Amino acid sequence: MKQIVVVKVGGAPLDNPQYLDQLAIYLQNIRDKGHQIVLVHGGGKEISKIHEVYGLPFIKKAGLRVTPPESMALVSMVLCGLVNKRLVSHMNRFNLKAVGLSGVDFHMMKSDLLNEREYGRVGGPPRVITTPLCQLLKENHLIVLAPVCAGPDGAPVNVNADVSAQAVAIALEAKRLDFVTDVQAVKTQEGPRQQLQSAEVPKLIEDEIVQGGMIPKLTSGIAALEGGVSHVRVGNISSLTHNTATEVTLS
């Protein structure tokens, strides 16, 4: 049986055709090594832009995007529509047999609301039903997965893409989880790190050496390792390709 690699990608470059070319080549290299791939994507920049267009406020609490019902409609539109189909279309130019899904499809990713009063339609780590994913992987599809999941009422909820990637990797018993970022590696006071142990991470966060979007990547990566994923890496496409990215390991 082929081993599974889960790749999480997000951020500003997702609207850059040249970047998407590089991403497709990177994914093709993974497939050429005999692996099956699930690509989990974010789309925060696009979500912020569309909130500006519609004149809706953009609020974050404790690093989470507050998502009232009117915002949830825009989040679904951007993640499941604009970004997902852009990625699927571009990957298929490279004959990757990409198919676009979200966690709502088949209700295969179900998530409980964290705190509806505080955060609106924001969910925690989803429970993943793997049957649809396994069938598509068996048919050699590249699964492009938007992190919009089914809430307790069946309606969509917004789940952090790093957390979604963690849950998918654990459920599929993936060999590896790669977090694709815009930096070569995780940077500490010692500079870029090729190896980072889980025990170091809380102090790096406390001292604000690791900040912003890197925090959920590391915490989700550690959770994935604790859940049985063999390898977790963080870096850009170049460093991931040339094995100079950060490998996160359990202490």
Boundary-marking domain end, from 135, 152, 174: 174
Considering the domain architecture, whether residues 121 and 145 belong to the same structural domain is answered as yes
* Residue 172: per-residue pLDDT: 98
Residue from 42, 237, 41, 37 nearest 143 by CA: 37
CA distances to 18, 38, 168, 196, 221 from 177, in Å: 23, 10, 10, 15, 7
CB 34 within 8 A of CB 3: yes
- The whole domain housing 244 covers 176-251
What are the tens digits of pLDDT across the range 61-113?
Answer: 877 889 999 999 999 999 999 999 999 999 999 999 999 999 999 999 999 99
Last residue of a domain, one of 121, 154, 174: 174
Same domain, 182 and 159: no
Per the structure, how many domains does the chain have? 2
- One domain, residues 135 and 250: no
Q: Is the pLDDT of residue 1 over 70?
A: no
Distance, CA of 202 to CA of 137 (rounded, Å): 35
Same domain for 228 and 166: no
Q: How confident is the model over 15-55, as pLDDT tens digits?
A: 999 999 999 999 999 999 999 999 999 998 899 999 999 99
Looking at the structure, tell me whether residues 143 and 124 fall in a common domain: yes
Q: Helix, strand, or coil here: 37? A: strand
What letter represents residue 145's amino acid?
L
158, 220: one domain? no
1 and 40 in a single domain? The answer is yes
Tell me the per-residue pLDDT of 191-229, one tens digit each, with 9 for 90 and over: 999 999 999 999 999 999 999 889 999 999 999 999 999
- Amino acid type, 203: K
Q: Are residues 124 and 9 in the same domain?
A: yes
CA distances 245 to 109, 158, 185, Å, are 29, 29, 5
More confident residue, 99 or 10: 99
Which of 174, 195, 216 is where one domain is finished? 174
CATH number at residue 92: 3.40.1160.10
Per the CB < 8 A criterion, the answer to whether 32 and 65 are in contact is no
CA 209, 210, 216 angle in degrees (round to 5)? Answer: 165
Q: What is the pLDDT of residues 45-61, one digit of tens each?
A: 899 999 999 999 888 88
Pair (126, 216) in one structural domain: no
Q: Within this chain, do residues 163 and 193 fall inside the same structural domain, yes or no?
A: no
